[in-house]
Amino acid sequence: MPSHKDIVHFSGSFDAESREAFRAKREKHGLSRNALAKLLGVEAVTILRWECGPTVKVTDMARNIIDTFLSGGIDQRINGTAVSERRLRVPKPMLKRIESLASVYALCEEFPEMQSEMVNAINGIVDGLKENKVQKDTGSI
């Protein structure tokens, strides 16, 4: 469990202090940029950009990833002490679509009804996919 002094919360924008905290945490765990990229589900060049620039602002999805890492949310996993954890491999094209959806959602911040419609539409799609999967798995198509 990380101590209180080890926890850093990420504001969503990189500055010299947050870049240093990110790099120091990676090095403290003895991880290369490539190894950390695999753990976080991003490209190694993304880790480089977060540590050295030019990235300043990041998407909400990236912010959550960075904040989880800096706050110690995956320390057990890094240290190999996590109890059976399954890593979900999401194809890169799907990640790009998810980031696009997150950006559109953020752009609609002043229109909560549009955000709600978006969430409902996505939930409908996911429910439909789950239903189709269950039907295929049970052979009832």
**Whether the Cβ atoms of residue 65 and residue 42 lie closer than 8 Å to each other:** yes
Residue 81 confidence (pLDDT) above 60:
no
**Residue 82, both tokens:** 């996590």
Name the fold adopted by 4-78. 434 Repressor (Amino-terminal Domain) (1.10.260)
Sorting pLDDT into bands at 50, 70 and 90, what band is 82? very low
Separation between Cα atoms, residue 97 and residue 103, nearest integer Å:
10
Q: At what angle do helices 112-138 and 92-107 cross, to 10 degrees?
A: 150
Q: At what angle do helices 16-28 and 44-52 cross, to 10 degrees?
A: 130
* 24-43: average pLDDT: 89
- Cα radius of gyration (the chain): 18
* 78-87: average pLDDT: 55
Measured at the CA of 13, the angle between CA 80 and CA 46, to 5 degrees, comes to 50
Sorting pLDDT into bands at 50, 70 and 90, what band is 1? very low
Separation between Cα atoms, residue 103 and residue 105, nearest integer Å:
5
Peptide bond into 54 cis (omega under 30): yes
